[in-house]
Structure 1
Amino acid sequence: MFNNKDQQLADKILNFSCELKEGQNVMLQLVGLNGIGLLRALVKKVREMNAHPFVQIEDTEVRRILAEKGDKEFWKNQAETDQLPLMKKMDAFVGIRASLNIYEQADVSKKANKAYADYFADPVHFKERVNNTNWVVLRYPSEAFAMNARMPTQKFRDFYYKACLLDYSELAEAMKPLQKRLEDTKKIRLEGEGTDIEFSVKGQTWIPCFGKRNIPDGELFSSPVLSSVNGHITYAPSVYQGKPFEFVKLEVCDGVVVDSDSSDNEALEEILDTDAGARQFGEFSFGLNPVIEEPMYDILFDEKIYGSNHLTLGNDYEIAPNGNESNIHWDLVCIGADVYLDGEKVREGRTFIADDLKGLNPENLLSD
């Protein structure tokens, strides 16, 4: 029916992440049939808690067809007739992303993506689900996922559960000194191979993430003062809207991307041209999960890589705003840049060197 690790993960999701209570409603959404074992474990656990599961199972090819054929009227009707009224009744949401092909939607047009973002994703997820439910989103392991991570399947499964079942309470404690420093910081600079960029974070709000909204988790984020970003930055491999990028380089002046290069410049320009906010930055974050070491073409994992930062193109989060609005939110990851807070180097490469921050280094968070 389901394995012991899925049972442990279901317990962590419902009790720790969603903090589900008796009598509450929770939407359990599975995209891709691969994660059915975890879904079964979640349904069983929800009922044992005397809460109410609302189950959605989506085939990824059907999802692609809807994305390709959807337009403004279709997505508006989908949201208003079905998903938005239902989401408004939810206390919690669990989204399991279990696609076997991360490139399934690579051929969906810019126009179709925008229609989905404007008339479905924004009202249903960004405005209602994100702001009014205890939500968590996670991937599920597969042979295809292992292949992107360049690992044997069993090794990847072991890695997956180790990253997801991390002691997040311990990580939360280790984050506190960094959060304290950042709340007093005015300017941040990243300097490394292909990267020299700085920006102001004066007065910005910092949010620690330790298993409440993403599994796996491990980041501390805010947003840069919108017009303060200047310099250039080089990012690790990424996939966005089903399109793979082996690298992305951006040149930034007064908060706006003025030049760029990548392994697919046509696709990159299309993303940057989505709207005005797509060329600006809505988030800055430290990746802090000690288990996750290398990019695997999956943002949910890659943005948590220890010794990394993501300076995110597009929309900000209401919980840590800077005023940027966009239909995109692309967590591009820069790995191993030196980090300076108000001129003091606090991380060299991927290792924190400030005494009060050394607790975030992997050797101090992992017992084996």
Structure 2
Amino acid sequence: MYTSEDRKLALQLLNHSVELKKGENIMLQLVGLNGIGLIRALTEEVRNKGAHPFIKIEDPEINRLLLEKGDDHFWENQTETDQLPLMKQMDAFIGIRAAENIYENSEVPKESNRAYSQKFLNPVHFEERVNHTNWAVLRYPSAAFAMNAKMPTEKFREFYYKACLFDYNKLEQAMKPLEELLRKTDLIELKGEGTDISFSVKGQNWIPCFGKRNIPDGELFSSPIIDSINGHITYAPSVYQGKPFEFVKLEVENGVVTDFDSSNNSALEEILDTDEGAKRFGEFSFGLNPIISEPMYDILFDEKIYGSNHLTLGNDYEIAPNGNESNIHWDLVCIGADVYLDGELIRKGRQFVKDELKGLNPESLV
């Protein structure tokens, strides 16, 4: 019916991530049938707790058809008739992304993506689900996922559960000195190959992430002062809206992207032209999961790579705002840049060098 690993993951999601209680409503969403075992485990454990599961199982190809043929009126109707009223009744949400083909939506037109984001994704998920439920989202392992990670299928499965079932309580404690330091920081600088960029985070809120929302987890995020960002930055491979990028380079002046280069410039230009906020930044984060070392074209993993940072194009988060509003939120990852806080080197490449932060290095956590 389901594996022992899926039962362990289900229990961690329910007990640690969303802290589900008796009598609460929880939406369990599965996109792609590959993760059906985990949904079965979750459903059983939800009922064992005396809570109420609401199951949504979606086919990625049908979702693509809806994206391609949807418009403002279609997504407004989906939101107002079904999705938003239901989400407002949820205390918790777990979303499992189990599609086999990460490029399924690569040919969806720009206007269709805009309509979906503006009329459905933002009101249902970013505004209601993110702000008013205990939620967690994750991918599910598959042979296709293993291919993107350049691993044998079984080795990838082992890696997946190791990364997801990591001791997040230990990571929570190790993050505290960095969080305290960042709350007192004004200027952050990233310097490395193809990267020399600086920005202010003075007075900004910092959010430690240790298995409560994204699985696998391991990041500490905030947002930069919106007009303080200057310099250039080079990012690792990424996939956004089903479109692959082997690299992305951005030139930034006073918080606005002024020039760019990538392996797919026509797609990048289209994304940057989504709206005014798409050329600005809404998040900055440290990746801190000691199990995840290389990009695998999946942002839920890639943004947690140890020794990485992501400086995110698009919308901010209400919990750590900087005033940027956009229909996109693209977590682009920069790996291995030296990090300076108010002129002091705290991370050399991928290793923290400041004594109180060395507990975040992989050899201290694993």
TM norm structure 2:
1.00
Read off the aligned partner of 1:39 and give its amino acid letter: I
Read off the aligned partner of 1:361 and give its amino acid letter: N
How far apart in 1 are the matches of 2:40 and 2:182? 41
Structure 1 residue 174: Cα displacement: 0.2
Structure 2 residue 49 is the aligned partner of structure 1 residue 63: no
1:9-61 superposed Cα distances (whole Å, 9 cap, x missing partner): 00000000000000000000000000000000000000000000000000010
1:123-166 superposed Cα distances (whole Å, 9 cap, x missing partner): 10011000000000000000000000000000000000000000
Structure 2, unmatched stretches of 5+, are none
**What SS does structure 1 have at the residue aligned with 2:157?**
helix
How far apart in 2 are the matches of 1:18 and 1:230? 38
| Structure 1 partner of 2:224 | 224
Read off the aligned partner of 1:101 and give its amino acid letter: N
How far apart in 2 are the matches of 1:117 and 1:60? 17
| Structure 2 partner of 1:42 | 42
**What SS does structure 2 have at the residue aligned with 1:340?**
strand
How far apart in 1 are the matches of 2:158 and 2:122? 35
> How many residue pairs are counted as aligned between the two chains?
366
Structure 1, unmatched stretches of 5+, are none
**What SS does structure 2 have at the residue aligned with 1:345?**
strand
Alignment of 1:6-85 (within 5 A): 6-85=6-85
Alignment of 1:1-368 (within 5 A): 1-366=1-366
**What SS does structure 1 have at the residue aligned with 2:291?**
coil
**What SS does structure 2 have at the residue aligned with 1:304?**
coil
Structure 1 residue 71: Cα displacement: 0.4
Query: What RMSD, in angstroms, separates the aligned Cα atoms of the two structures?
Result: 0.3
Structure 1 residue 199: Cα displacement: 0.2
Moved over 4 A (4+): none
How far apart in 2 are the matches of 1:102 and 1:172? 31
Read off the aligned partner of 2:60 and give its amino acid letter: T
**What SS does structure 2 have at the residue aligned with 1:286?**
strand
How far apart in 1 are the matches of 2:210 and 2:258? 34
1:297-341 superposed Cα distances (whole Å, 9 cap, x missing partner): 001100000000000000000000000000000000000000000
Structure 1 residue 287: Cα displacement: 0.1
1:175-220 superposed Cα distances (whole Å, 9 cap, x missing partner): 0000000000000000000000000000000000000000000000
How far apart in 2 are the matches of 1:280 and 1:95? 28
Read off the aligned partner of 1:103 and give its amino acid letter: Y
Read off the aligned partner of 1:90 and give its amino acid letter: M
Structure 1 residue 167: Cα displacement: 0.5
How far apart in 1 are the matches of 2:268 and 2:180? 36
Read off the aligned partner of 1:281 and give its amino acid letter: F
How far apart in 1 are the matches of 2:128 and 2:313? 22
How far apart in 1 are the matches of 2:323 and 2:83? 27
Read off the aligned partner of 1:110 and give its amino acid letter: K
How far apart in 2 are the matches of 1:330 and 1:156? 25
TM norm structure 1:
0.99
Read off the aligned partner of 2:28 and give its amino acid letter: L
How far apart in 2 are the matches of 1:279 and 1:204? 21
How far apart in 2 are the matches of 1:181 and 1:124? 35
